[in-house]
Amino acid sequence: ILFLCQSEFCFALASCRVIQIPVATAAPRTAPGGAGRRVHYVCVCFSLPAVPPVILVYPETQAQEPGVSASLRCYAEGIPDPKLTWLKNGLDLKPRSSKQLSLIANGSELLIGSVRYEDTGAYTCIAKNEVGVDEDISSLFVEDSAKKTLANILWREEGLSVGNMFYIFSDEGITVLQPSECEVRRQMKRRDREQAEEQICPPVSSSPSDSCVWSSAVNVRDKYIYVSQPPLSRLLLLDVQAQKVVQVVATDPFPVKLQYDKSHDQVWVLTWGSADRTRPSLQVIPQASVGEVHHAVRTTFQRVNDIFIPPTNLIITHVRFAFLFLKNEPAVHKIDLETLHRVKTISLKNYSCVPQSMAYTHMSGVYFIHCQNLHKNSFKNPPPPQLLVDSVTDTVIGPNLNLSGQAFVSQDGRFVVTPQTQTSKLTVQTVSFQGELRLNQELHNPLAVSDLVFQPSFTESNQHLVVATSGTGTDLLFGDLSSGSVEVIKSLKYPISPKDWPWGGPNRVVVSSGPFGQYLVTPSSESIFVLNGKQRTPHCEVSDIKRGNTVVWVGEV
């Protein structure tokens, strides 16, 4: 909702903000200076429509022997938050006892402590809010292993399937890791010959190293993985079901960053042109999940420093626009992902801001821009604050409090976390269903944060943990956004040095295993650590995986 206003009136309204819009005016001919400009103050009031729930369950099917525990998980998004209930074989589920059957995190998990034969059945999770309902079924079979029924066989084969794996790209090649058992399911060595008899990592004359060099990878609908090899000016295309390389895709020199546009099924490729970033450009691979042969198509965009595509989730399933940052330019360029044309340029010059990264929350319709000083000789000055940009009008609202640096937004758009290196804090902001952005709390943060991810809480619904890595030390942080408590895991060995990771982005990533997964992966320079997010402890270390800083999670296939 937009209307002309006095600023005092607008600020008195919940979920509203003032935006200044310059308007050209025709001055009288006798007026000195000719035409002028005046400013209209427009009040933008953001109100989210109610959205019916969308639900996921995990697992779809499982088979267990009598006496063991069984967990059935349910995840739903909607506006407002949906309420979760469970049925068994179409009837209301009434917990028999706290030990035998319990509902955890307001129904997000149904835990059966010691299954019996009579627990076999179809368990329906129902998500309901004021505007709709959604449901899905998780089936449980309880039987002796000796019976070898179809359900039992399918369940045990699923445990050995190609889904629910981390793909890790390191000096040695490609490692497929099953996290719960810390088991390496497959290794593709750098000199292995896969597609068309090409080696996975052939020698590069310009590189003294004999190792693989990777920079970025994306999961395309749990069907393919695209991964970039900058010195080779190419991508490898992996078939997840076959767990093998099926195509080599040629690109412009030095492809360093990939982003998947799920709405249009296309992979965007940022190339540098050389190791010194002398000729950066963008290419796009259309129909990335279909067909047998894929090609990178050059776009008209040049001097591109980075690209930001807003994320999708269960209720936001289509994104039309992305944003480009050009080298040393105080502006962001809005592009149409369907036509591949530039739509608008949003100037940031008045704020001396050269954009470095962006984040977005659909809950308030606001973009967060991480800024760097426009003038190179101002490196001694404090970094400029984050800027907020309204997604309705594409207008700069102004600074986000006094926060600077990169913003991280949870998948549901409800939490915005900004690491503050100057104050050793993680600043947490929340977004209400009315679109109000509020300062929530500050968590103590002893790390120089390299990467940060959100993980759904295992004890409370609609809450999150944050997991952050250090770019300089051996520590890792778990922060509970509900209680504000912080736990630091020490001695995870040192990360890859920045000089050994010249591709931009975090030099120590942390990758989660989806909305139901309790495991995360983070590399050191010499190994891979698997973390148990539910227990907030190290789970295992897999040695001899060097510089494995390109990691992709593949869920159910």
Whether residues 112 and 58 share a domain: the answer is: yes
Asked if 161 and 126 sit in the same domain, the reply is no
In a domain, 533, yes or no: yes
392, part of any domain: no
- Final residue in a domain of this structure, among 142, 168, 201: 142
In a domain, 120, yes or no: yes
Tokens encoding 307: 């690209």
Tell me, yes or no, whether 17 and 108 share the same domain: no
CA geometry: angle 273, 170, 178, nearest 5 deg: 135
What pLDDT is recorded for position 207?
Answer: 62
The DSSP secondary structure of 175-236, one letter per residue, reads EEEETTTTEEEEEEETT-B-GGG-BSS---TT-S--S-----EEEETTTEEEEEEGGGTEEE
**505 lies in a domain?**
yes
pLDDT at 27: 39
104 shares a domain with 17:
no
Predicted TM-score of the model (pTM): 0.89
Q: How many domains does the chain have?
A: 3
pLDDT for the residue numbered 152: 53
Could you read off the pLDDT of 181-227 as tens digits, one per residue? Answer: 999 999 999 888 766 568 899 887 666 567 899 999 999 999 999 99
In a domain, 451, yes or no: yes
170 and 116 both lie in a single domain: no
Identify the bridge partners of residue 139 per DSSP, sorted by sequence position: 61, 122
Strands (E), 211-313: 217-220, 224-229, 234-239, 244-250, 255-261, 266-271, 281-285, 297-302, 304-308
153: enclosing H helix or E strand: helix 150-159
Residue 496: is it exposed, middle or buried by C-beta count within 10 angstroms (0-12/13-18/19+)? buried
Residues 126, 92 share a domain: yes
Half-sphere CA count of 460, side-chain side, radius 13 A: 8
What is the structure's pLDDT at 33?
41
* pLDDT score recorded for residue 375: 73
Query: Which pLDDT does position 49 carry in this prediction?
Result: 75
Residue 456 lies in a domain: yes
Same domain, 511 and 495: yes
Please check whether residues 104 and 166 belong to one and the same domain.
Answer: no
One-character DSSP codes across 336-375: ETTT--EEEEEE-GGGTEEEEEEEEETTTTEEEEEEEESS
Q: Does one domain contain both 488 and 513? A: yes
CB of 547 closer than 8 Å to CB of 554: no
Clarify whether residues 547 and 476 are in a common domain.
yes
Q: Do 73 and 117 fall within a single domain? A: yes
> What pLDDT digit, counting tens, does each position of 509-549 carry?
999 999 999 999 999 999 999 999 999 999 999 999 999 99
Task: Please state the φ and ψ torsions of residue 343, each to the nearest 5 degrees.
Answer: -100, -40
CATH of the domain at 106: 2.60.40.10
Instruction: Please list the pLDDT of the chain residue by residue as tens digits (557 residues).
Output: 554 454 444 544 445 655 555 444 443 333 334 444 455 556 666 666 789 999 999 999 999 999 999 999 999 999 989 999 999 999 988 765 567 888 998 899 999 989 999 999 999 999 999 999 999 999 999 988 755 565 555 545 444 467 899 999 999 999 999 999 999 999 999 888 766 568 899 887 666 567 899 999 999 999 999 999 999 999 999 999 999 999 999 999 999 999 999 999 999 999 999 999 999 999 999 999 998 899 999 999 999 999 999 999 999 999 999 999 999 999 999 999 999 999 999 999 999 999 999 999 999 999 999 999 877 665 567 889 999 999 999 999 999 999 999 999 999 999 999 998 778 899 999 998 888 899 999 999 889 999 999 999 998 888 899 999 999 999 999 999 989 999 999 999 999 999 999 999 999 999 999 999 999 999 999 999 999 999 999 999 999 999 999 999 999 75
Residue-level pLDDT at 18:
55
Kindly state whether residue 399 falls inside one of the protein's structural domains: no
132-142/61-64 β-pairing: parallel
On whether both 449 and 540 belong to a single domain, the answer is yes
Domain membership of residue 224 (yes or no) is: no
- Look at residue 31 in the predicted model and tell me its pLDDT: 38
The boundaries of the domain holding residue 73 are 51-142
